[in-house]
Amino acid sequence: MAHFTSYDGAKLAYRRSGSGPPLVCLPGGPGLDPRYLGDLGGLGRSRELILPDIRGTGDSEVPADPAAYRCDRIARDVEALRAELSLERMDLLGHSAGGNVALLYAAAHPERIGHLILLTPGVRALGLTFTGEEQQAAMRRRAAEPWFETAWAAAQAADDGDDSGETTLGYQPFLYGRWDDAARAHARAALSDQAAPVRAGFYAEGAFDPPTTRAALATLTGPVLIYAGELDAAAPPELLAQAAGLFRGWELRVQPGAGHFPWLDDPARFAGALRAFLSGG
């Protein structure tokens, strides 16, 4: 575990895992402990994964001002981490909600991006959302699964305001390509480590300015990969195709049979795809 000082004096933590050229990996949630990323399906055998604890999580300092949890503020922490690592340009991965952080960082510092990977990302920073009807359609793709009715009921309860741990765990099958014992253990561990204050403050008013972000990202020269899971109900391929279509040269790749955590569904395929992208120009 190592520490660095961010723009406002906050003491934040990060871990190093694996070996090879560094890849900074921003976790999702928002507010998840980055340990849920594991070694990204074996990618850590060829890349050193830099795994920051977002402020308020893990070994990072809890801010006195809840506004510090806002997505655009967290993006400023990424620049402080880059300086700590002495990287002129860095390869950056943002998973889920961390995709929004990665997008805001890349918009603010396009010259600092080597390769950008948006892994089953949130894309609210681009002004892209999907309706409740569209999300339900994505969920109904799993209607033949034995767990569907129970998970559907949990999702409806969450929509009605039930944010209990039991209900949240109840709809997690929609995020996994296979709802097996490994997926259940992964979901329980990830949810148990999620920091509620981060989740509450991340999307606060003022976090996003999509027109400005889009204009800035149009100047990004490094290669960008948007990686989707075919069965992901949180960031469905149809939504991510809209993000890829905004900018020339942004590549969309969809992993068959995968959910929101595609490195769990087919580790070799996932790690191979990212390794090939990162070794490109």
pLDDT category at 281 given cuts 50, 70, 90 is low
Alpha-carbon dihedral angle through residues 34, 91, 202, 131, given to the nearest 10 degrees? -100
Count of other CB atoms within 10 angstroms of residue 280: 10
DSSP-derived pairing of the beta strands 22-26 and 90-95: parallel
Asked if residue 149 is part of any domain, the answer here is: no
Asked if residue 75 is part of any domain, the answer here is: yes
Asked if residue 28 is part of any domain, the answer here is: yes
Q: Which residues of 206-238 are buried (b: 16+ CB within 10 A; e: fewer)?
A: ebbeeeebbebbeebebbbbbbbbbbbbbbbbe
Asked if residue 35 is part of any domain, the answer here is: yes
Residue 194 has a pLDDT of 85
Q: What is the pLDDT of residues 241-275, one digit of tens each?
A: 999 999 999 999 999 999 999 999 999 999 999 99
Residue 233 has a pLDDT of 95
* CATH number, domain with residue 80: 3.40.50.1820
Asked if residue 52 is part of any domain, the answer here is: yes
Asked if residue 91 is part of any domain, the answer here is: yes
Q: What is the pLDDT of residues 110-130, one digit of tens each?
A: 999 999 999 999 999 999 998
Q: What is the pLDDT of residues 1-30, one digit of tens each?
A: 999 999 999 999 999 999 999 999 999 999
Residue 280 has a pLDDT of 82
Count of domains forming the chain: 1
Q: 229 lies in which domain range?
A: 2-137+197-278
- As a whole number of angstroms, the distance between CA 63 and CA 55 comes to 7
Q: Is the dihedral angle over the CA atoms 13, 17, 20, 24 positive or is it negative? A: negative
Asked if residue 247 is part of any domain, the answer here is: yes
Percent of the chain past pLDDT 70, that is, above it, reads 100
Asked if residue 143 is part of any domain, the answer here is: no
